[in-house]
Amino acid sequence: MTRRARVLVAAWLLLLGACGLWLYRNLTLTTDLSAFLPPSATPAQRILLGQLRDGAASRLVLIGLEGGSEDTLARASSEIAHRLVASGLFAYVSNGAAGANRRDQAVLFEHRYLLSPAVGPERFSVRGLEAALAETYRLLGTSAGVLVRATLPADPTGEMAQVLRQLVPEGVPDTRRGVWFSRDGGRALLVAQSRAPAFDADAQRRVVRTIEQAYAATRPAAGRLLLAGPGVFAANIRATVDSDVWRLSLLGAALVLAILYAAYRSAAILAVSFIPVATGLVVGVTAVGLGFDELQGITLGFGVTLLGEAVDYPTYLLMQARPGEALGEALARIAPTLRLAVLTTVLGALAMALSSFAGLAQLGVFTVAGVAAAGLATRWLVPAVLSVRPGSLAAGKGLAWLDRLAGAARRARWPAAALVLGALALVAWRHDRLWDDDLSSLTPVSASDKQLDRELRAQLGAPSLRYLLVARGASREAALQASESMAAWLGGAVRRGWLSGFDVPSTYLPSERTQEARRAALPERSVLAARLGSALRDSPFRAGAFAPFLDDVARARSGPLLDMRDLGGTAIAFKVDSLLVRNEDGWNALAMLHAVSAPAELAKKASAQGDEFIDLKAESNALVGTYKNQALRYIALGLACITALLAFALGSLRRAARVVAPTLAAVAIDVGLLLLLGKKLSLFNLVALLLVVGVGLNYALFFARRHVDDEDKRRAQRSVVVCAGTTLSAFGCLALSRIPVLHEIGVTVALGAVLSLLCAAAFAARPE
Amino acid sequence: MTTGTRILAEGAAAVLAAGLLSVAVAAPRLDASRLMQTLAGVRSASASFVETRYSPLLKSPLVSHGTLSYRRPDRLEKIVVSPHQERIALHGDRLTIDSPPAGRREISLDAGTSGIATLIEAVRATRAGDLARLERDFDVVVSGTLDDWQLRLKPRAADVGQYVSAVGVWGSGPRLQRVEVWEASGDRTVMEIDEATD
């Protein structure tokens, strides 16, 4: 190694070390969807993300137990509930057992006069008391008499029943042996709410493991544990993703290594050829870390995909050196082309880096920094550290077919052109059905899991994840008041059959205004006693039986209003917390909706009432659509810049066209083939196509490069073939994945690599 | 909720229960399985009933009447016709309560629902002669003779015991004659049954 080389290597190590240290100290990786949030996000979209990230519904775990007698299942249900509570991982666990919510019931009973919607001035007039007592007497004669009787002396007007009536939604599960069961009795049901958000796959895996262990501890004979909910699916997907990524990357890496080893016949060269991409990765992540508060998981995923191009850079250099030629000399020949290869990608990504869309800007910065660093490492570092002289591939006579292939492709350029026209026609014909912005079509959650989720959700009467109503207020009190007026019209909607029920925060914690009105409606003790006396005169109840009632009303009348402190530690507090959320737009009262059957009517009524109806699916699809459209715009801008750069560097627009045209042709055919395979394009295909453009431009550049002789030309072609081979191997393996996203990216890039090679050979090569 | 009345009532119920228990112990033992066999022989039964609630809170007992019908193995229906209409049907594991005008929603307490279900189940399981079922929900004591028997049922589950202290069923041969429920509140309901079996 020369002195200069040693300085270079030292500087490089220092840079990597500094980046590594900085990343170790400062990097925070987030995996939520806020990367998709455009700067012009509506309040609804911000609530959507908050809900997806941390919402009550998104943290629900639905649990079913099957196989075993009713008795066994009920016992297992209680034991599991007990263990889950003890684990501390859950904010809320319920299997329907009364004992579990006895404290909730006690809190509700204590505050029944502030919570009951029936409380008003009329309720405690002589006539109101007479009516309430008559109703209570009627109930005493029914099968519910035993329950009514238990609280009769303290609650003769039945306020507790009024409170409970609005709490329990229609369609709660059956109770058998004291715990929830499905209607057919074959499945015990539990519901839990994890403290960890749904997207935290690691935490969710702990949640799932804890439930499985709790189940195993009940020593089930032949039973089955069923789990569903967003967090559970996140955990399951994570497991599949991990195993798939690990397996397929290993396979891909093995194939890439095999190809490169066949090309170089030297382990040292092989090792050195990975320096640029590794450098690019570290520098790219650091650049994003420096420029933004946190790194989005999606940036990392897409960025690594786009950085795939950097694996090719050393290949171009190492493959095009003549046998025995020092890399420095070879560089003199190919450096201008290599520089263009790097610059085109940097320029393309630069447009994206200027986007105001955080997710896109991050991806742009990552690519610009990563690719530039990889390019510089190839230009300076690789020749510095590699004293071995490459070029052994030149001896490989077995590769002559590669050269013939290039020739054949060149002759096939008219059929290829026809293919491009065909693909363009197909794209034009399908232009309105080209894109699919529905992320759920790419979800790796299996159809059977989705079915199970629907089933358990219906059996448990859990709210739907899709629809949400929001009433806003500047303060907590204002939001609660808004929640009350929302509940009023929702009650009408339930009677019309638009939905089966709803959950709003003001049911559990009425606004102060409402509570004050109810408290003010409670008469003074002596007044109430006198009225009760009159009401009892002609009633079947004995006078003097209701002293506890007089005491409780007096206490409520002089007592404080109900606030969150009173609810502390109950499931009710948790409900209020998750339904009353604060964000940058103020306070939001959310209504969870059960079994929505008429979303359009609800939406219309909501907007008339000044509330907001959110279709989470439509909103998230709109977000993805916006992201995609923005990306398309920046890609178009990037392509224009690239063409301008090429025209400037190559000296003419015609020469630039010879490089750009084959790339676009490859993209067109790629898209055409994807459509023929029955696919629609998603955001993920788009990013994959971006990589196709990146590598395709390089292929075309090296095919179109001015070659000094035939040998030089052959080397250039072979280097491109090797690059296409490695890309095909790596992404072809990804195409085998069970994860739809990985599969899509894999198929698109693998096809794209082959097509780019063929199109470059057909259109970019200089005429003989 | 824990009022003086309540404690008093519970005390009274406990005394009552203890009294009954001593009666049961003193009586010559009737073989439970033999009684159950006799009861299980009934294919269907129908009856009119008069149910009376005795409560310290009421000026006079609350009386309701209606009909009961049973069909082997697991169908029991109780229809109250006066003073208010109500229909309670237990078929298999489904308990349906139609209580106009409000329907089921009025008793939508989880614990409550199971409490009511347990009371209905007590009558059905006795009618069906299903001792295993009875013993799942209650501590069962059988006393008397086959012609004049008594079942004393004490709820096992705490959430039922919170409302019901004990249930007594009287009968003669395959016929049910009387069901008494001692509530934890201190109230007592007595259902007199005039049954025809088949």
Residue spans of the domains in chain B: they are 4-197
Contact A71 B136 (CB under 8 A): yes
Q: Is the pLDDT of residue A454 over 50?
A: yes
Residue A423 lies in a domain: yes
Contact (CB, 8 A) for A682 and A436 = yes
- Average pLDDT in the A694-713 region? 86
- Residue A521: strand, helix, or coil: coil
Domain interval for residue A721:
402-431+652-768
B52 close contact with A: CB closer than 8 A: no
Short-list A196, A205, A219, A172, CA closest to A90: A196
Read off the pLDDT band of A50 (50, 70, 90): confident
pLDDT at A669: 94
Segment A117-172, tens digit of pLDDT? 999 888 999 999 999 999 889 888 887 788 888 888 999 998 988 888 777 554 56
Average pLDDT score, chain B: 79
Q: Within a 13 Å sphere around the CA of A115, how many CA atoms are in the beta-carbon half? A: 27
Contacts with B114 from chain A: Cβ below 8 Å: 98, 175-176, 178
**Percent of chain A, pLDDT > 90?**
29
Q: Is the pLDDT of residue A475 over 50?
A: yes
Read off the pLDDT band of B53 (50, 70, 90): very high
Residue A531 lies in a domain: no
Q: Is the pLDDT of residue A698 over 50?
A: yes
Segment A398-445, tens digit of pLDDT? 667 777 777 787 788 888 889 899 999 998 888 888 888 776 776 777
Contacts with B190 from chain A: Cβ below 8 Å: none
Q: Are residues A368 and A310 in the same domain?
A: yes
Would you put residue A178 in left (φ > 0), alpha (ψ -120 to 50) or beta? left
Q: Is the pLDDT of residue A485 over 90?
A: yes
- What stretches of A498-598 show up as alpha helix (H) in DSSP? 505-508, 512-520, 525-537, 547-558, 564-567, 571-579
Centre a 10 Å sphere on the Cβ of residue B132 and count the other Cβ atoms it contains: 8
B112 close contact with A: CB closer than 8 A: yes
Q: Are residues A425 and A346 in the same domain?
A: no
Question: What is the rounded distance in angstroms from the CA atom of residue A657 to the CA atom of residue A660?
Answer: 5
Read off the pLDDT band of B18 (50, 70, 90): very low
pLDDT at A645: 92
- What letters, b where the CB count within 10 A reaches 16 and e where it falls short, cover B30-67? bebeebbebbbebeebebebebbbebebbeeebebbbe
Q: Is the pLDDT of residue B111 over 60?
A: no
Q: Is the pLDDT of residue A579 over 70?
A: yes
pLDDT at A280: 93
pLDDT at B107: 35
- Is pTM beyond 0.90? Reply is no
Residue A195 lies in a domain: no
Shortest CA distance from A98: residue in chain B: B111
Question: What is the rounded distance in angstroms from the CA atom of residue A596 to the CA atom of residue A310?
Answer: 50
- Residue A310: strand, helix, or coil: helix
B56 close contact with A: CB closer than 8 A: yes
Residue A16 lies in a domain: yes
pLDDT at B109: 31
Residue A512 lies in a domain: no
Read off the pLDDT band of A65 (50, 70, 90): very high
Contact (CB, 8 A) for B58 and B45 = no
User: Which range is least confidently modeled, A32-36, A329-333, A392-396, B122-126?
Assistant: A392-396
Read off the pLDDT band of A644 (50, 70, 90): very high
Average pLDDT score, chain A: 85
Residue A415 lies in a domain: yes
Q: Are residues A670 and A709 in the same domain?
A: yes
Contact A147 B62 (CB under 8 A): no
Q: Are residues A296 and A415 in the same domain?
A: no
Question: What is the rounded distance in angstroms from the CA atom of residue A272 to the CA atom of residue A314?
Answer: 8
A134 close contact with B: CB closer than 8 A: no
> Looking at chain B from residue 116 to 175, which residues have their Cβ under 8 Å from any Cβ of chain A?
116-117, 119-120, 136, 157-159, 162-164
- What stretches of B94-175 show up as alpha helix (H) in DSSP? 110-128, 131-137, 158-161
Contact B99 A142 (CB under 8 A): yes
Contacts with B53 from chain A: Cβ below 8 Å: 140-141, 145
Read off the pLDDT band of A478 (50, 70, 90): very high
User: Which range is least confidently modeled, A301-315, A445-459, A624-638, B112-126?
Assistant: B112-126
B1 close contact with A: CB closer than 8 A: yes
Give helix then strand counts, H and E, for chain B.
5, 10
- What stretches of A3-143 show up as alpha helix (H) in DSSP? 3-26, 43-54, 70-87, 102-110, 112-115, 126-140
Question: What is the rounded distance in angstroms from the CA atom of residue A84 to the CA atom of residue A193?
Answer: 10
Contact A146 B119 (CB under 8 A): yes
Query: Which helix (H) or strand (E) covers residue B167, if one does?
Result: strand B164-172
Specify the number of domains making up chain A. Answer: 2
Q: Are residues A345 and A419 in the same domain?
A: no
Residue A590 lies in a domain: no
Q: Within a 13 Å sphere around the CA of A108, how many CA atoms are in the beta-carbon half? A: 25
Centre a 10 Å sphere on the Cβ of residue A663 and count the other Cβ atoms it contains: 29
Q: If DSSP states are collapsed to H, E and C, what string results for A113-148? A: HHHCCCCCHHHHCHHHHHHHHHHHHHHHCCCCHHHH
Q: Are residues A317 and A407 in the same domain?
A: no
Contact A149 B136 (CB under 8 A): no
Q: Is the pLDDT of residue A365 over 80?
A: yes
Contact B58 A548 (CB under 8 A): no
At A56, phi and psi to the nearest 5? -60, -45
Beta carbon pairs, A and B, within 8 Å: 122
Contact A164 B58 (CB under 8 A): no
Segment B23-32, tens digit of pLDDT? 444 445 678 8
Enumerate the β-bridge partners of residue B50.
Answer: B65, B192
pLDDT at B1: 39
Give all strands (DSSP E) within A606-665, no chain letters: 612-615
CATH topology of domain B4-197: outer membrane lipoprotein receptor (LolB), chain A (2.50.20)
Query: Which helix (H) or strand (E) covers residue A750, if one does?
Result: helix A740-759
Residue A70 lies in a domain: no
Residues sharing a CB contact under 8 Å with residue A652, sequence separation 6 or more, in sequence order: none
Report the CATH number that the domain containing residue A368 is assigned in CATH.
Answer: 1.20.1640.10
At A502, phi and psi to the nearest 5? -155, 165
pLDDT at B10: 55
Question: What is the rounded distance in angstroms from the CA atom of residue A269 to the CA atom of residue A415?
Answer: 39
Contacts with A140 from chain B: Cβ below 8 Å: 53, 55, 62
Q: Are residues A352 and A416 in the same domain?
A: no
